[in-house]
Amino acid sequence: MEFDFENIKKLLSIQSKEELNELRNLSYNKLTEFVGECVYLRGLIEFSNYCSNDCYYCGIRKGNTTLERYYLTREEILDCAKIALELGYGSIVLQSGENNSEKNINFISEVISEIKEISKSELLPNGLGITLSIGELSYQNYEKLYKAGAHRYLLRIETSNPTLFKKIHPVKQTFERRLECLNYLREIGYQVGTGVMIGIPEQTIDDLTNDILFFKEQDVDMIGMGPFIPHKDTIYCDYYIKKPTALQKNYLLSLKMIAAARLVMKDINIASTTALETIHPSGWEEGLKYGANVIMPNITPFKYRKKYQLYDNKPCSDISPSEQNSLIKSRIEAIGRKICYNEWGDSKHYWQRKEKNILINKD
Ligand code: SAH
């Protein structure tokens, strides 16, 4: 079945329990058919909250002067990588606010190379898989980090509606620039991930439908998306007063978005995100049931977690990474899925895309 605007919108508008069950089953079947039941874990390292951007919705935006800023040292990042390795996570995600100074890019590049060096083993001959999520950079910087060893990149478009994008960002942060960056990343050879926030003020079901079509049109390899959650130090601090039912609504809508993305894009990787888990104690499981296949457990040192609050109530638990791993394992097994340890768990779509390109270039 080919999905167009009308039938994607229909999926996102489903309300009844029966239809939701049907949607979940359909999407789950697509998942098992195209990518299998494995769940891949990526150890998330939030290595700095310094940010030169001022996204109106984000708790670590530059304008939030109440926040103490931090930067993990090289040793601290390497220690996190070692934890990921010991726990059998085949990959890590390095995330931070935006800082495209030469000094910072050189630092990240050196850290990536070192992580690659220390993580090569018989189990992982190419070392840990490294995903970056550090915002908009120049072509040269993306390329430098790719050459250093990063091979996936997450850059959310936040919304595919340019007018809405303008409303939630300062003038100097443009929709066109985001698109350009996504193109750079693809051109360089990264596995490219994008995503949106679900429930942004004034966002409509039509916008979300177009978001799914945008993912398809951009032919992305990975998607990370989740509910919009207000942050107290942003202009959206009174969001729940204006929209008292938003929490549950955005949660359910996020699950439907995951299912729709799986049905339309089939063989991509989709994350069951922390924002889902923030709204509901079994948010991760529900995301997986609706078609997601990746989870990103936070392995940032505890003392920094409170300083990386992108939105209110973002979990900053103080259980150790290995306890967290056992918990996640039992939660995932309880829903009949299994974790595939010590694998990169690349997006199948990426390899299909590559193969297609090789064939086209041969012709
Ligand atoms: N600076 C990097 C990565 C950090 S922000 C970047 O811009 O890509 C990572 C993601 O957190 C953002 O893309 C955004 O979608 C999400 N986020 C930020 N504030 C949020 C909020 N209030 N509610 C839900 N998600 C939010």
Distance 267 CA to ligand 1 centre (A): 24
Q: Tell me how far CA of residue 295 lies from CA of 102, 119, 275, 333, 361, in angstroms.
A: 31, 21, 12, 14, 35
Expressed in angstroms and rounded, the spacing between residue 60 Cα and the centre of ligand 1 is 9
How far, in Å, CA of 117 to CA of 146, rounded?
15
Confidence of residue 231 (pLDDT cuts 50, 70, 90): very high
| Each residue's pLDDT tens digit, 309-341 | 999 999 988 889 999 999 999 999 999 999 999
The residue whose CA is least distant from atom 13 of ligand 1 is 156
Over range 12-26, report the average pLDDT: 98
DSSP one-letter code for 203? -
Nearest to 254 by CA among 223, 233, 298: 223
Query: What is the Å distance from ligand 1's center to 221 Cα?
Result: 19
pLDDT of res. 357:
77
Q: Which atom of ligand 1 is nearest to the CA of 230?
A: 22
Write the burial class of residue 240 (CB in 10 Å: 0-12 exposed, 13-18 middle, 19+ buried). Answer: middle
List the residue whose alpha carbon is closest to atom 19 of ligand 1: 58
| Residue 97 CA, closest ligand 1 atom number | 1
Task: Give me ligand 1 centre to Cα 96, in Å.
Answer: 10
| pLDDT value at 363 more than 70 | no
Ligand 1 atom at minimum distance from 156 CA? 13
Whole-angstrom distance, CA of residue 240 vs CA of residue 236: 9
Give the whole-number percent of the chain exceeding pLDDT 70. 99
Whole-number percent of the chain with pLDDT over 90: 94
From the list 277, 164, 153, 150, the residue with the least C-alpha distance to 226 is: 277
Which is higher by pLDDT, 244 or 289? Answer: 289
pLDDT at 359 over 90: no
Tell me the C-alpha distance between 198 and 204, whole Å.
10
**What's the gap in Å between 55 CA and the centre of ligand 1?**
9
Distance 310 CA to ligand 1 centre (A): 6
CA angle 52, 315, 87 (to 5 degrees): 95
CB 41 within 8 A of CB 296: yes
User: What number is the average pLDDT over the span 124-143?
Assistant: 98
Q: Is pLDDT of 361 > 80? A: no
59 CA → ligand 1 middle, Å: 9
pLDDT by residue (tens digit) across 204-217?
999 999 999 999 99
Mean pLDDT, to the nearest integer, of 131-144?
98
Q: What is the mean pLDDT of residues 159-174?
A: 98
pTM of the model: 0.97
For residue 10, is pLDDT > 90?
yes
Q: 316: helix, coil or strand? A: coil
CA–centroid distance, residue 363 to ligand 1 (Å): 41
Of all atoms in ligand 1, which is nearest to the CA of residue 311?
A: 22
Per-residue pLDDT averaged across 156-182, rounded?
A: 98
Please tell me the residue having the least CA distance from ligand 1 atom 7: 135
- Cβ(214)–Cβ(262) below 8 Å: no
Residue 356: which pLDDT band, with cuts at 50, 70 and 90?
confident
Candidate of 197, 235, 313 to mutate for ligand 1, largest count of ligand atoms within 8 Å of Cβ: 197
- 291 CA distance to ligand 1 centroid (A)? 22
pLDDT higher than 80, residue 362: no
Task: Express each pLDDT in 45-104 by its tens digit.
Answer: 999 999 999 999 999 999 999 999 999 999 999 999 999 999 999 999 999 999 999 999
* Helix H or strand E segment including 222: strand 222-227
Q: Which of 168, 310, 334, 155 is CA-nearest to residue 235?
A: 168
Give the mutation target among 132, 192, 250, 310 for probing the ligand 1 site: most ligand atoms within 8 A of CB: 310
Residues with CB under 6 A from ligand 1: 57-58, 95, 97-98, 133-135, 155-156, 158, 197, 228-229, 231, 275, 310-311
Residue type, 25: N
Task: Output the average pLDDT for the chain.
Answer: 96
Q: Which ligand 1 atom is the nearest neighbour of the CA of 154?
A: 8
The protein residue whose alpha carbon is closest to atom 18 in ligand 1 is 58
